[in-house]
Structure 1
């Protein structure tokens, strides 16, 4: 992948096999998985498989989740990006989903918003996506605030993998920088 985004404080670059330890730190935390079905990973090997799947998405779809790196320290603090979803979700299929996940000690600092906004801009300005979608557990206050703050519209409530979620969308014609 040649795509790399930068914000004031972040570098958003492809996820590399060398990110496995940082992603394990992220995804082994039960608090990170509180609204994701409570299934944190239990080994670095699981993260390595996850990374391999993401890197395959780059090849198949030209896009995927990217590492979120702090410019100041070079630390990988999570992931964010656009994923092309090919499995049915909430009566949609073959759509662009915006997502993000950060290590708990970096919550509440605006990094999630900063990364999500950069990816939303990229989706509409570079990819020329017709729409961007997202979902968040109805009790995940932080994620719901981020999605609304970047301009996505909450459309409905639905259940995904037994989890109550809100469905968000933003059509290209309704997008404004």
Structure 2
């Protein structure tokens, strides 16, 4: 199992089949899925498929979402990180997408922000990305606040699978000004 980043409180590492219980706790929670289409998983076999999909992204693109582990308790918090998107989304293709999803017990503790900063640093320092994108349902105020705190700029609102969504972007230069490259990972 590969660990990619360690922050003050978190370990970000590959998601493995050992994360089934944590991923199930995360994705079976209806509140977690409020802005994700309201379609929580109902059995662990669905989680196996999700984990296998993420692991294939590691093989195909050298990147995929990472498990967020609480360093002090070894608890599975959720996932964070980048995925390389090859499907057309909002007139974009072949781009890095920033995302995160946390178990409800960890909301409001700065974990999404902490893990997203580390993920962006990885994108710009290790992957040499010029820009990273993100999207969030327009009603998801929590994600909107996190993305803006990161320095991501709201570019536009668009229809994503029948829901109005905000499209965000951050370029390397903007990130470097907000967080000097030596302080990332």
Q: Normalized against structure 2, the TM-score is what?
A: 0.93
Within 2, Cα distance between the matches of 1:169 and 1:96? 10
The residue aligned with 1:137 is 137
The residue aligned with 1:97 is 97
Q: What RMSD over aligned residues (CA atoms) do the two structures have, in Å?
A: 1.0
SS at structure 2 position matched to 1:4? strand
For 1:50-89, what aligned pairs fall within 5 Å after superposition? 50-89=50-89
Indicate conservation of the 8 Å contact 2:3/2:11, yes or no: no
Within 1, Cα distance between the matches of 2:40 and 2:143? 18
- How far residue 64 of structure 1 moved from its aligned partner, in angstroms, is 0.4
Q: Normalized against structure 1, the TM-score is what?
A: 0.97
- How far residue 173 of structure 1 moved from its aligned partner, in angstroms, is 2.9
Gaps of 5+ in 1: none
Within 1, Cα distance between the matches of 2:79 and 2:102? 6
The residue aligned with 1:37 is 37
Within 2, Cα distance between the matches of 1:143 and 1:6? 22
Indicate conservation of the 8 Å contact 2:151/2:174, yes or no: no
